[in-house]
Chain A
Amino acid sequence: MSALAARRRTLPGFGLTMGLTLSWLSVIILIPLAGLFLRSLELSPEQFWNILSSRRTLNALRVSFGLAFAAACVNLVMGSIIVWALVRYRFPGRRLFDAIVDVPFALPTAVAGVALTALFAEKGWLGGPLAALGIKVAFTPVGIFVAMIFIGIPFVVRTVQPVLQDLDPEIEEAAGSLGASRWQTIIRVILPSLAPALLTGLALAFARAVGEYGSVIFIAGNLPNISEIAPLLIVIRLSEFRYADATAIAVVMLVVSFVIIFAVNRLQRWAQSRIPER
């Protein structure tokens, strides 16, 4: 141990690189974020509460958080199905579809926004047939939901995929040869092993969807109290120079993000602590 520590110290540059890292991190990330929190402290608790409990803010938060959670749940289910197909089955185009999963990561959000709107508008390729069925997607909350599903897809797939790939095939065989039905094996053996990864994927997709702006605002319709997301309300308040309102909403969203980061870290630790057991 001491030999290791001594060896580690033989490399130069720790002080310099750590100093630079912390300074740059502070300048770009920490000070700006701290500024936001400081600003929110200038508000009295009463002002803060009045902003947050106003009908429009509450509705925007409800739309963002509610639809983000619903979309993350869809991503959880469809992401699991996609992972299962990609990892367990061989079919033509598998590698292509595997690569395609990353498109929502790589495609700029504004592009995704206008594309989804064109696709789901009443004259669009999918919006047309859906409108004939009486389902309006673009410029309604359903549109927000669709955009949030789009941007969340890679999160569940990319967190669960490596775990399913590394899953020891023998535990499944053991369960099967001990008389468990395939369904029982999946529910009782495979699902618990994937649980931390599934929950992490759900949390990441949710966090991304809550804060999402570019891909949502084009398709949303942006009617106050109905299809207005919280990030858009921040932008609107800023353009009205109502900085206090923008700050208060941003602080609430930021605190939720921090809680999610904390939860994800905990989940990762839980996942790691389970590995030696197997």
Chain B
Amino acid sequence: MTMQIADSVSLPAPDAKARAHAAAARDSLRTEPKAVRITIIALAMTFLTVFVVLPLVVVFAQALSKGVIAYLTALAEPEALAAIRLTLLVAAISVGLNLVFGLVAAWAIAKFDFKGKTFLITLIDLPFSVSPVISGLVFVLLFGAQGYFGSWLREHDIQILFAVPGIALATTFVTFPFVARALIPLMQEQGTQEEEAAISLGASGLQTFFRVTLPNIKWGVLYGVLLCNARAMGEFGAVSVVSGHIRGETNTMPLLVEILYNEYQFVAAFAIASLLAMLALITLIAKTVLERHLNEGHEPRDH
């Protein structure tokens, strides 16, 4: 009995040891000496701290450098409130437009086969690779005083540049791909079977879309809207070109940051900037949560 126990204990022991050895040997084929590992981790963390963490911290430190009251006073300025209102308005317009476009485009691209699909997706992606300044410039060339539609607009007394429509247009241009790009791969992956079943059971196209497709892609829609909104509220270059910087009227939050900063009103500039930084942080947290939801849908979670 005791022998048996001793046997059963001692016998697998070298076996386990050998296996552990083999596993360690296999692992050592796939990793580096400890000193190298530590150096690489330290390099990565230092780089990210210097280039990403510190700039974020600086925003809040500068905003609060004269105390909480100065910070809140800066945010309560009429000019600040006007900029916040305009930013919310412009974001609502361009996110709304791009949400509808994104759903429509994703339906056409993901649910049907046709020639030139890759090319069409490349065209939708174009704004990602156009400089923000050029995104603004194209609208100045169309609607500016010397632009193609400039004289016509003036005759009919329609103001596009240096007004809300121009800002909304430039923002829509810049944020154009976000919703569509979030939805196309998701809807392609989900295929068309459920929709076909609904149609063959007599549902109309719109019913199928709202009752079958939309519930399946709701997290993807939120994801696209989230990223689209973050960019819409934060856009600077394109909006700067078309806005005309009319104080209290055509200044969005990022533009007001620039104006206040150039006037050496650092607390006020960084106070507005801190709101935008918070928007970015909330967006990132929400994005992480949404990515978890999106991954649950189709992938076995392996990490």
Q: Is chain B found bound to chain A in the same assembly? A: yes
Q: Interface on A for B, CB 8 Å cutoff?
A: 5, 7-8, 10-14, 17-18, 20-21, 24-25, 28-33, 35-36, 39, 78, 81-82, 84-86, 88-89, 91, 93, 97, 99-104, 106-112, 114-116, 118-119, 124-126, 146, 149-150, 153, 165, 169, 172-173, 175-177, 182, 185, 207, 210-214, 218, 231-232, 234-235, 238, 241, 243, 246-247, 250, 253-254, 257-258, 260-261, 265
Establish whether residues B58 and A247, one from each chain, have CB atoms under 8 Å apart when the complex forms: no
Q: How far is the CA of A25 from the CA of B125 in the complex (A)?
A: 11
Establish whether residues A213 and B133, one from each chain, have CB atoms under 8 Å apart when the complex forms: yes
Q: How far is the CA of A102 from the CA of B303 in the complex (A)?
A: 19
Closest Cβ–Cβ distance, residue A210 to chain B (whole Å)? 7
Given contacts A24-B105, A97-B44, A110-B257, 7 further A-B contacts (CB under 8 A): A11-B192, A118-B266, A231-B134, A235-B240, A247-B141, A253-B131, A261-B125
Q: How far is the CA of A243 from the CA of B137 in the complex (A)?
A: 9
Closest Cβ–Cβ distance, residue B227 to chain A (whole Å)? 8
> Contacts A12-B205, A89-B37 known; A235 to B133 CB distance under 8 Å?
yes
Establish whether residues B129 and A257, one from each chain, have CB atoms under 8 Å apart when the complex forms: yes
Of the stretches B5-13, B28-36, B66-74, the one at the interface is B28-36
Establish whether residues A150 and B52, one from each chain, have CB atoms under 8 Å apart when the complex forms: yes
Establish whether residues B132 and A103, one from each chain, have CB atoms under 8 Å apart when the complex forms: no
In-complex Cβ contact of B48 among A82, A173, A214, A218 (8 A):
A82
Q: How far is the CA of A260 from the CA of B266 in the complex (A)?
A: 38
Establish whether residues A107 and B124, one from each chain, have CB atoms under 8 Å apart when the complex forms: no
Establish whether residues A30 and B284, one from each chain, have CB atoms under 8 Å apart when the complex forms: no
In-complex Cβ contact of B196 among A11, A35, A214 (8 A):
A11
Establish whether residues A234 and B134, one from each chain, have CB atoms under 8 Å apart when the complex forms: yes
A112 CB contacts on chain B under 8 angstroms = 55
Establish whether residues B130 and A254, one from each chain, have CB atoms under 8 Å apart when the complex forms: yes
Closest Cβ–Cβ distance, residue A89 to chain B (whole Å)? 6
Establish whether residues A101 and B59, one from each chain, have CB atoms under 8 Å apart when the complex forms: no
In-complex Cβ contact of B276 among A21, A101, A108, A149 (8 A):
A108
Establish whether residues A7 and B52, one from each chain, have CB atoms under 8 Å apart when the complex forms: no
Establish whether residues A89 and B41, one from each chain, have CB atoms under 8 Å apart when the complex forms: yes
Of chain B, the residue at the smallest CB distance from A180 is B29
Of chain B, the residue at the smallest CB distance from A244 is B146
Among A21, A101, A177, residue most surrounded by chain B Cβ atoms (within 10 Å):
A21
Of chain B, the residue at the smallest CB distance from A182 is B32
Any chain A CB within 8 A of the CB of B222? no
In-complex Cβ contact of B56 among A10, A20, A107, A253 (8 A):
A107
Of chain A, the residue at the smallest CB distance from B107 is A17
Establish whether residues A213 and B132, one from each chain, have CB atoms under 8 Å apart when the complex forms: yes
Closest Cβ–Cβ distance, residue A47 to chain B (whole Å)? 16
Any chain A CB within 8 A of the CB of B223? no
Q: How far is the CA of A115 from the CA of B56 in the complex (A)?
A: 7
> Contacts A110-B273, A243-B146 known; A103 to B129 CB distance under 8 Å?
no
A210 CB contacts on chain B under 8 angstroms = 131
Closest Cβ–Cβ distance, residue B143 to chain A (whole Å)? 10
A-B contact pairs, 28 of them (CB 8 A): A11-B195, A12-B199, A20-B108, A21-B105, A33-B130, A82-B47, A100-B48, A102-B287, A106-B230, A106-B280, A106-B281, A107-B276, A107-B280, A108-B233, A108-B276, A109-B132, A110-B273, A111-B234, A111-B254, A112-B55, A114-B269, A118-B270, A153-B51, A169-B30, A211-B130, A213-B133, A214-B236, A247-B137
Tell me if A's interface is mostly helix, strand, loop or mixed: helix
Q: How far is the CA of A278 from the CA of B40 in the complex (A)?
A: 28
Any chain A CB within 8 A of the CB of B295? no
Any chain A CB within 8 A of the CB of B2? no
B108 CB contacts on chain A under 8 angstroms = 13-14, 17-18, 20-21
B51 CB contacts on chain A under 8 angstroms = 146, 149-150, 153
Any chain A CB within 8 A of the CB of B126? yes
Establish whether residues A103 and B280, one from each chain, have CB atoms under 8 Å apart when the complex forms: yes
Q: How far is the CA of A258 from the CA of B192 in the complex (A)?
A: 33
Any chain A CB within 8 A of the CB of B219? no
> Contacts A172-B30, A254-B134 known; A108 to B235 CB distance under 8 Å?
yes
Closest Cβ–Cβ distance, residue A187 to chain B (whole Å)? 13
B283 CB contacts on chain A under 8 angstroms = 106
Establish whether residues A20 and B41, one from each chain, have CB atoms under 8 Å apart when the complex forms: no
Closest Cβ–Cβ distance, residue A127 to chain B (whole Å)? 11
Of chain B, the residue at the smallest CB distance from A241 is B146
B261 CB contacts on chain A under 8 angstroms = 114, 218
Closest Cβ–Cβ distance, residue B111 to chain A (whole Å)? 5
Fill in one digit per residue for B192-215: 1 if any A CB lies within 8 Å of its CB, else 0. 100110011000110011000000
A119 CB contacts on chain B under 8 angstroms = 54-55, 58
